[in-house]
Chains A and B, each alone.
Chain A
Amino acid sequence: MAMLRTLFKTRGEALSFACFALLILVVLPIALPVFRLNLVGKYLSYGFVGIGLVLLWGRCGILSLGQGVFFGLGGYCMAMFLKLEASDPVSTAIQSTPGIPDFMDWNQITQLPTFWEPFRSFPFTVLSIFILPGLVAFLIGWAMFRRRVGGVYFAIITQAIALILSLGIDGNQGYTGGRNGITDLRTLLGWDIRSEHAQHVLYFLCVGLLLSCALLAKYIINTRFGRVLMAVRDQEERVRFSGYDVAMIRTFTFTLAAMLAGLGGALFVLQVGFMSPSLIGIVPSIELVIFAAVGGRLSVVGAMVGCLLVNFGKSAFSEAYPDLWLYLMGGTFIAVVMFFPDGLAGLFSKWDTLKYRASSLLNRLLPGRSNAPSDPSITPASPSAK
């Protein structure tokens, strides 16, 4: 019970989390064919980035337009492992150098580059999915936050890093697969990840990890550290003069968000079966921010819902009007920032207040209506509740 109270401050929070968990754990797997379910799994892998953004942007006030970098790093780690497994000497016998990934062979590379070697090991790969994005984020964060770079400047720098990484991968086709990315991934430790059964299993793996990360984020938000994060956002100087190392707090949060994004990237690769630089540049990085903004950057559940909704919208709308999708998404982002800065989750909690106000107004206008239904979680604040 005490644990539950640390995780969820109000009954509404617990309820919304439970509903969302029910939706992705039970309803969607029953209702959707495996192809659609796989799509949902892909959208949910963005949810990891969303959870990170709630901590980083919503709580700590740092807007990063480069989360695609970390999503991509995690994804590439996974993809490199899967690609090596798919490139065993037997299945690549027709290449001029068998045993190396096909795109290397096409680029006249005759030996596996050294930095690929460790990705033959599965434990190394799993570790690197967290450590590589985390390390990169730590170095960037440390360098920036120590120098008190923040706000718009930080956003621009992270965006530049996203561009650099996507161009770097794009330009080194022989080592990275270039613009095509790393494709044709087949098995994970001998287990065919393209089969329907595997897609089901991977979906539940993704959902299980996502919900665990969401609980972790909710735990963090409700600890004293979570309150310090908001304090850093709202009263940076005061936090500094309360004896906190603000630069370290920001760096830690940025690193944590990057590790979450890396995990999301790896699960994306497992479910979708490829990784390419088009998923980590400026546009996808901004899209990731939009998912969180639409869903609600302050709410963990909101950010995950945002990933689902915007992506469903994207696939429905872009099938019908492919050219208009980007305009619609840009417009949505502007509208959200201008009118609902806390996203759908913010609207939802306001809706509660609105409902309460409407019913208390009715109570005042119609004195006989005292037994009107009212939300028990709100009544204590009501002046007429006595």
Chain B
Amino acid sequence: MSTRNDYVLEIEDLGVSFDGFKAVDGFNFYLNAHSVHVIIGPNGAGKTTVLDLICGKTKATSGKVKFKGREMRGLREYRIVRAGIGRKFQNPSIYENLTVLENLEISHPSGRSIFRCLLFRRTPAIQAQIHAIATQIGLQDHLDTEAGILSHGQKQWLEIGMLLMQDPEIIMLDEPVAGMSVRERTETAALIRRISTNRSVIVIEHDMDFVREIADRVTVMHLGQILSEGSMEKVSNDPKVIEVYIGH
């Protein structure tokens, strides 16, 4: 009990099978508070499925997902979100018809129930929070821009900003720099480092240079199982990892 109190998220023996095919099997994962934990692995290794299992999008067939000691498995998605786990999708999913400001506002937790949402007013406090987060994601000058016309990179940042509005303790990012330019990658890395000062971040990524820049800890997945885990240095020297990545 006492030793595990440091972990925000404890996953034990997590597994899911689709018609007998085990997409994720015997997955153990411990997430430290205020750290960036990157999951890497070849295509089809089950990385995205792990995120789906944590956030409840896919129902696990075995195992435990404990967030601060509380079992999350079996809860509905919105309950998991309200508990404090936020998730960004691989393709930027933002509300294209709304402005940047409205996108951020709609993600603010205060109007999640129907009646609060109907009576919602943009208070100065919320306004200030929106501005602070917009500044963090570099969109402070685009608050009134319709989100649909933002660049690809800006859309990715906006979605991260929407997660920040929810103020979750864990943020899960699925390939946040896919399709970004080098400069945008650098900025995203800085952003991720910044937001991990007071929350934990799980990132799925392919780009090794990017992983090296952001990761406190790395888990390598292969065929639904954990192949290796540790610091970036340790895993990149692991013969099993080298075989999977280079041996093919």
The chain A residues found within 8 Å of chain B, CB to CB, are 220, 223-225, 227-228, 230-231, 234-235, 237-238, 240-246, 248-249, 252
14 residue pairs from A and B, CB less than 8 Å apart: A223-B117, A224-B106, A224-B117, A225-B111, A225-B118, A228-B106, A235-B94, A237-B57, A237-B93, A240-B77, A242-B162, A242-B166, A245-B76, A248-B114
Tell me whether A246 and B78 are in contact (CB under 8 A): yes
Bound Cα distance A249, B107 (Å): 15
Chain A residues, Cβ within 8 Å of B176: none
Tell me whether B94 and A241 are in contact (CB under 8 A): no
Bound Cα distance A249, B114 (Å): 7
Tell me whether A238 and B94 are in contact (CB under 8 A): yes
Chain A residues, Cβ within 8 Å of B169: none
Tell me whether A241 and B106 are in contact (CB under 8 A): no
Tell me whether A242 and B89 are in contact (CB under 8 A): no
Chain A residues, Cβ within 8 Å of B107: 242
Bound Cα distance A248, B86 (Å): 20
Bound Cα distance A246, B79 (Å): 12
Which of these, A223, A234, A243, A252, contacts B81 with CB under 8 Å? A243
Q: Which of B81, B117, B119 has the most chain A CB within a 10 Å cutoff?
A: B117
Which of these, B55, B78, B94, B97, contacts A244 with CB under 8 Å? B78
Tell me whether B114 and A243 are in contact (CB under 8 A): no
Q: Interface on chain A toward B: helix, strand, loop, or mixed SS?
A: helix
Chain A minimum-CB-distance residue to B88: A241
Bound Cα distance A243, B77 (Å): 7
Which 6 interchain pairs have the tightest Cβ spacing? Answer: A243-B81, A224-B120, A225-B117, A238-B93, A225-B118, A242-B107
Q: For chains A and B in complex, what number of residue pairs have CB atoms within 8 angstroms?
A: 75
Chain B, residues 117-139, CB within 8 Å of chain A (1/0): the string is: 11110000000000000000000
Query: Is B194 in contact with chain A by the CB < 8 A criterion?
Result: no
A235/B106 contact (C-beta < 8 A), A241-B55, A246-B78 known: no
Bound Cα distance A160, B150 (Å): 43
**Contacting residues of chain B (62-104) with chain A, CB-CB under 8 angstroms:** 76-78, 81-82, 86-87, 89, 93-98, 102
The chain B residues found within 8 Å of chain A, CB to CB, are 55, 57, 76-78, 81-82, 86-87, 89, 93-98, 102, 105-107, 109, 111-112, 114, 117-120, 162, 166
Which of these, B82, B97, B117, B120, contacts A234 with CB under 8 Å? B97
Nearest-CB distance from B167 to chain A (Å)?
11
Chain B residues, Cβ within 8 Å of A245: 76, 78, 112
Chain A residues, Cβ within 8 Å of B118: 220, 223-225
Bound Cα distance A220, B117 (Å): 10
Chain A residues, Cβ within 8 Å of B97: 230, 234
Tell me whether B112 and A244 are in contact (CB under 8 A): yes
Q: Which of B82, B96, B109, B118 has the most chain A CB within a 10 Å cutoff?
A: B118
Nearest-CB distance from B18 to chain A (Å)?
18
Bound Cα distance A237, B51 (Å): 14
Nearest-CB distance from A175 to chain B (Å)?
36
A238/B89 contact (C-beta < 8 A), A227-B95, A243-B166 known: yes
A225/B114 contact (C-beta < 8 A), A231-B106, A238-B94, A243-B109 known: yes
Bound Cα distance A136, B55 (Å): 32
Chain B residues, Cβ within 8 Å of A248: 114
Nearest-CB distance from B145 to chain A (Å)?
13
Q: Which of A220, A227, A228, A249 has the most chain B CB within a 10 Å cutoff?
A: A227
Chain B residues, Cβ within 8 Å of A242: 81, 106-107, 112, 162, 166
Given A238-B95, A241-B87, A242-B107, 11 other A-B residues pairs in contact with their CB atoms under 8 A: A224-B106, A227-B95, A227-B98, A228-B117, A234-B95, A238-B162, A241-B55, A241-B81, A242-B81, A244-B78, A245-B112
Tell me whether A243 and B112 are in contact (CB under 8 A): yes
Tell me whether A237 and B109 are in contact (CB under 8 A): no
Tell me whether A224 and B105 are in contact (CB under 8 A): yes
